[in-house]
Amino acid sequence: MSRPQNKMEGEAFRTSFPPEVEEVFREFRTCEFSTLTRSGVPIAWPLVTLWRPEEGRFVLTTSIGLPRKAFNIRRDPRVCMLFSDPTASGIENPPAVLVQGDAEVTDEIHAGTVGVEDYWERLYRIQPAGKIYSSNALLRYLTDWYYMRLHIFVRPRRVLWWPDGDFRRAPEEVDHVG
């Protein structure tokens, strides 16, 4: 299988995803985000993500207290995101979707929401109890690391999907991704 080259920076993103796939990007609470370790093992952790269709890329973040996935991306940008847990999505019989792509991670440590306000707003909407971390001075002191974040952007290169989330069937593939 061959993958198309990445689009040049600034070039419009034109891939059209099936509506049920875009709905999964919008509504699933987490994806299983895999990066490659130094020894080449793919390790996945659940992460909240935001799909920005106008940019053709996903936004994710990680605290500098949990930096390994960022180290992995700096060494090898190949990643994948599996959307396979529909809990709380409100979608009946959703497909499962696998996005393979290339990630970038910022060097700058972000201690606020600038540039990713939409990500934080989504995070607080889907995880309202997370507001507690900044609710008083003691918790702010104990959990300030939670807000020290590296930004991760993933540009899809290949997208596979399993209708009805049925992994016993061969997946369908979205044409002309990237």
Partner 1 sequence: MWDEIEKYLPMFDSAVLNVTDPDGYPYSIRCHPVPDRTAGTLRLDIEEGAPVRIGQASILCHSHDQNTWNQKIFVLRGDLEEARGGWAFRPEKFVPSLGVGGPLGAMRAVIEIRRNAAGYLKRRGLPRPRIAWREIEAVKDRASR
- Which stretch in 9-17, 19-27, 49-57, 129-137 sits in contact with partner 1 by CB under 8 A? 129-137
CB crowding 82-105: b at 16 or more within 10 Å, else e: bbbebeebeeeebbbbbbbbbbeb
Q: Candidates 96, 152, 159, 177: give the one binding partner 1 (CB under 8 A).
A: 96
Residue at token pair 């992994």: 167
**Residue 169 touching partner 1 (CB under 8 A):** yes
Which of 42, 61, 16, 26 lies closest to 156, judged by CA?
A: 16
**Residues 24 and 95: beta-carbon distance below 8 Å:** yes
- Which stretch in 4-12, 13-21, 50-58, 65-73 sits in contact with partner 1 by CB under 8 A? 65-73
- Which stretch in 4-12, 16-24, 49-57, 58-66 sits in contact with partner 1 by CB under 8 A? 58-66
User: At its nearest, how many Å lie between partner 1 and the CB of residue 78?
Assistant: 5
Name the 3-class secondary structure at 65: coil
**Residues 98 and 160: beta-carbon distance below 8 Å:** yes
Query: Which residues are at the interface with partner 1 (CB under 8 A)?
Result: 1, 3, 29-30, 32, 34-36, 39-46, 48, 63-67, 78-80, 82, 84-85, 87-88, 96, 98, 100, 109, 111-114, 117, 120-121, 123-131, 134, 140, 142, 144-145, 147-148, 157-158, 165, 167-170
